[in-house]
Amino acid sequence: MKLTLQNIALPLRDFVLELDVVLERGATAIFGPSGAGKTSLLDLIAGWREPASARITWNETLWEDAGAGVRLAPRARGIGYVAQDLALFPHLSVRENLCYGRKAGAPELFSYEHVTRVLEIEPLAERGIAQLSGGERQRVALARALLSSPQLLLLDEPLGSLDAALKGRILPYLARVREEFKVPMIYVTHDAAEARALCEEVLEMERGRVTRRVEIKDWRI
């Protein structure tokens, strides 16, 4: 993968998100305190927010060039986004949520059976979203993202809302997703242990800027 974020400027409430980076690793952690602009960065990559200036390319494809007025629609970016609030559709069953992003006729990267087996959510298929526990919701959101056959996964504190015990149980699923499906991922977190467990490199962010960028093995906080 090669995600190029050039000349980014996205005004937020208290500061401007400004960066210039090329991400090429299979799993990159974006690490920093809350309010550092991490979620805004993911939203920008997903095409949910309009920057003041930006040039974003994915491999050879131009996603965004604010100066030239180029904007690839979010639906065409092939992104699997597990947002912090998950945004599971509350009126649909687990199965309908999982299948929402599957494209009729298009070749699938991963099968429904494979994904639900790896994440151990097969028995939940007919349930409503309201009947799921916190950990189950996280896994369903992750599975839904994977089933849309993404070329890039954006994970926004996927364990943030879980207690320590549950985190310990869900983390291995994320590691399994990395091993099994090998979709490049950008992983936003403020928990160093998660970043170490899953990612190859880390970008530390503060007030909208990248303050440090290191390989995970060399990372000392």
Residue 156, helix vs strand vs coil = strand
Return the number of the residue (104 or 164) whose C-beta is nearest other proteins: 104
Shortest Å, Cβ 148 to other proteins: 5
Among 182, 188, 193, smallest CA distance to 203 is for 188
**Beta pairing class for 79-82 and 27-31:** unpaired
Return the number of the residue (83 or 124) whose C-beta is nearest other proteins: 83
Shortest Å, Cβ 92 to other proteins: 8
Return the number of the residue (73 or 165) whose C-beta is nearest other proteins: 73
Distance CA(136)–CA(212), nearest Å, equals: 34
Geometric angle at alpha carbon 124, from 123 and 127, rounded to 5°: 135
Distance CA(89)–CA(182), nearest Å, equals: 26
Shortest Å, Cβ 144 to other proteins: 7
Return the number of the residue (83 or 185) whose C-beta is nearest other proteins: 83
Return the number of the residue (85 or 179) whose C-beta is nearest other proteins: 85
Q: Kindly state the tokens that stand for 63.
A: 């996603």
Q: Which residues bind other proteins (CB under 8 A)?
A: 46-48, 73-75, 77, 79-81, 83, 85, 87, 89-91, 100-101, 103, 130, 144, 148
Shortest Å, Cβ 7 to other proteins: 24
Shortest Å, Cβ 105 to other proteins: 12
Geometric angle at alpha carbon 106, from 91 and 113, rounded to 5°: 60
